[in-house]
């Protein structure tokens, strides 16, 4: 299960893909965010693993921030950023945030009800599966595969021993697992 925020909209002739991409680049430049344009896909890099992807298909634009790997701090930052993008854009974009954070901005609810619940289910999986071998949790398929360490799980923040992963307090596990676990910029 992924935790994500999605913006969707339809580009009109007056706001075609090239104009919207130029708007995104300008938007990112003023916020000192890295922006990469690959034609039908644009990437906004916020932090390691914290990437917002904009993709085009015909006149349709889709902006996606998958946040569960990076953490609740990134989710909150991405939500605020995407709300600003919606306000400044001349394209009507509809937001979908299953966590409800974009509606209530309740960081504690976001953190405990969504991210810690997700991480607890991952920890339960690790605890229940005794035949774990070279397990990479929340590891993109197109990345290199780190060297396997016997009895360890590979996470975006490094190796965590299986016995620690399954039995660690959720607060400590979250601090070791998520890149951006707290609200605000690093």
**pLDDT tens readout for residues 103-121:** 999 999 999 999 999 999 8
* Angle made by CA atoms 67, 70, 71, in degrees to the nearest 5: 75
pTM of the predicted model, to two decimals?
A: 0.90
> What is the reported pLDDT for 51?
94
Residue (of 136, 166, 168, 132) closest to 150 by Cα position: 132
Helix, strand or coil, per DSSP, at residue 92: coil
């Amino acid at each position: 299960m992924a935790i994500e925020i999605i913006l969707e909209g339809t580009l009109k002739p007056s706001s075609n893909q090239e104009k919207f991409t130029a708007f995104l680049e300008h938007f990112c430049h003023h916020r000192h965010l890295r922006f990469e344009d690959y034609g039908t896909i644009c990437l906004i890099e916020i932090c390691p693993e914290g990437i917002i992807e904009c993709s085009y298909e015909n006149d349709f634009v889709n902006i996606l921030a998958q946040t569960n790997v990076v953490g609740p701090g990134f989710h909150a930052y991405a939500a605020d950023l995407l709300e600003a993008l919606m306000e400044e854009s001349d394209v009507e974009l509809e937001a979908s945030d299953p966590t409800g954070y974009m509606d209530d901005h309740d960081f504690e609810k976001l953190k405990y009800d969504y991210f810690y619940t997700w991480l607890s289910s991952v920890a339960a999986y690790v605890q229940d599966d005794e035949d774990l071998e070279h397990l990479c949790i929340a590891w993109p398929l197109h990345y290199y595969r780190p060297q396997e360490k016997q009895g360890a799980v590979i996470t975006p923040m490094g190796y965590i021993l299986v016995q620690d992963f399954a039995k660690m307090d959720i607060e400590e596990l979250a601090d070791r697992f998520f890149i951006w676990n707290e609200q605000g910029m690093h």
